[in-house]
Amino acid sequence: MKDFAGKIAVITGGGTGMGRELARQLVAEGCNVAMCDVSAEAMAETKRLCEVEKLPQGLRITTHVADVSIEDHFKRFRDELIEQQHTDKIHLLFNNAGIGGGGSLFTNTREQWERTFNICWGGVYLGVRTFLPLLVKADEAHIVNTSSVNGFWASVGMGVSHTAYSAAKFAVKGFTEALINDLRLNAPHVKCSVVMPGHIGTSIVSNSRKVRLGTESDRLTADEFVQARQRLQGQGVDVAAMSDEDIQQAALDRARIFHDEAPTTASAAAKIILDGVKAGRWRILVGDDAHRLDERVRKTPEQAYTVEFYQSIVAETGWRIG
């Protein structure tokens, strides 16, 4: 697909981060956008930002509150889209919504683990299931599923358990790669891509806990204090000497550093994703860090989960995450 003007795009998780920037750039190219998110306020802000520039006559931006892990929400989103966008077909589907967390089988609850998995994997699967008939009706269409570097490397560093997110992102990558042939055989006018971002400057750290806990507060809960201490301890920090206020501050700093000190902005990431779709690429790595990690994991897979590997990746990329 070389041109997005006049097309209709669905974006999940359009409220902030890469979803918001995808919406802005698609609208700027004259593409109609229907987005969903759990946060109506965040989507209202995305819509406002999209409308800052003068829009082409008749272009539609619609917002739909939906949790991507719940199939009935997706069906309601689809029905609202058909009514409000006046169409029974879509051209682009960005399965972008995601959260982190719930990484340990030991220190997280099963509920926390499954919340992350059901959003990051279930949201992509249900998105494709729900919107496939509308994609097939278009003359040409493209599915863009967001995985991560954690779709080929199941770690965010030593001392951090990361099982739910990694399992989900590997699933997204495997599903999308297998979908290439399923589409080729059954709906050759529909293409798909898997997106694997490195570290992108978004608020995913703070948003994830808000989605998980259903709160707007930044104050850690009693459970989170315990988990934050475990995480810092795993990274070699002397937590015994830290008060709860120190732990709270460390959590806020982690979210701020993740957003402010990333090598790639959300806006630059969205451009790379849209350029990748236009170029017809099925695998879209986002950021130099993602390219480096991809090369390194392929070159020395047996080393991928060693301390030396992690330290050399941090040295190469300048990452301050984990």
Ligand X SMILES: NC(=O)c1ccc[n+]([C@@H]2O[C@H](COP(=O)([O-])OP(=O)(O)OC[C@H]3O[C@@H](n4cnc5c(N)ncnc54)[C@H](O)[C@@H]3O)[C@@H](O)[C@H]2O)c1
Task: State which of positions 233-262 bind ligand X (CB under 6 A).
Answer: none
Q: At its nearest, how many Å lie between ligand X and the CB of residue 36?
A: 6
Whether residue 158 contacts residue 234, with contact meaning beta carbons closer than 8 Å, is answered with yes
Are 304 and 297 contacting, i.e. CB atoms less than 8 angstroms apart?
yes
Show the CA angle centred on residue 286, arms to residues 282 and 292, nearest 5°: 105
Looking at beta carbons only, is 138 or 149 nearer to ligand X?
149
Q: How far is the CB of 40 from ligand X (least distance, A)?
A: 10
SS (H, E, C) 90-129: CCEEEECCCCCCCCCCCCCCHHHHHHHHHHHCHHHHHHHH
* Residue partners of 280: CB distance under 8 A and separation at least 6: 1, 191
Candidates 8, 10, 15, 289; binder of ligand X (CB under 6 A) is 15
Query: Closest approach of Cβ 296 to ligand X, in Å?
Result: 17
**If binding is defined by CB under 6 A, does position 164 make contact with ligand X?**
no
Of 22, 33, 42, 313, the residue at the interface with ligand X (CB under 6 A) is 42
Residues 54-113 that bind ligand X (CB under 6 A): 67-69, 96-99
Task: Show the binding pattern over residues 193-232: x = contacts ligand X (CB under 6 A), - = does not.
Answer: ----x-xx-xxx--x---x---------------------
Nearer to ligand X, 16 or 62 (CB): 16
Q: SS3 for 216?
A: coil
* Burial (CB count within 10 angstroms: exposed 0-12, middle 13-18, buried 19+), residue 236: exposed
Beta-ladder partners of 12: 36
Total residues at the site for ligand X (CB under 6 A)?
A: 32
Least Å from the CB of residue 268 to ligand X: 12
Measure the CA angle with vertex 299, ends 293 and 303; round to 5°.
80
Pick 19 or 103: Cβ nearer ligand X:
19
Q: Is 127 in the site for ligand X (CB under 6 A)?
A: no
Q: Quick one: which segment of 35-43, 130-138, 233-241, 299-307 binds ligand X (CB under 6 A)?
A: 35-43
Centroid of chain to Cα 207: 11
126 lines the binding site for ligand X (CB under 6 A): no
Decide: is 25 part of the binding site for ligand X (CB under 6 A). no
Rounded-to-integer distance, Cα 79 and Cα 68, Å: 15
Kindly list the distances between the CA atom of residue 187 and the CA atoms of 3, 91, 172, 190, in Å, as whole numbers in the listed order. Answer: 20, 13, 20, 6
Chain residues binding ligand X by CB under 6 A are 12-13, 15-19, 36-39, 42, 67-69, 96-99, 119-120, 146, 148, 197, 199-200, 202-204, 207, 211, 266
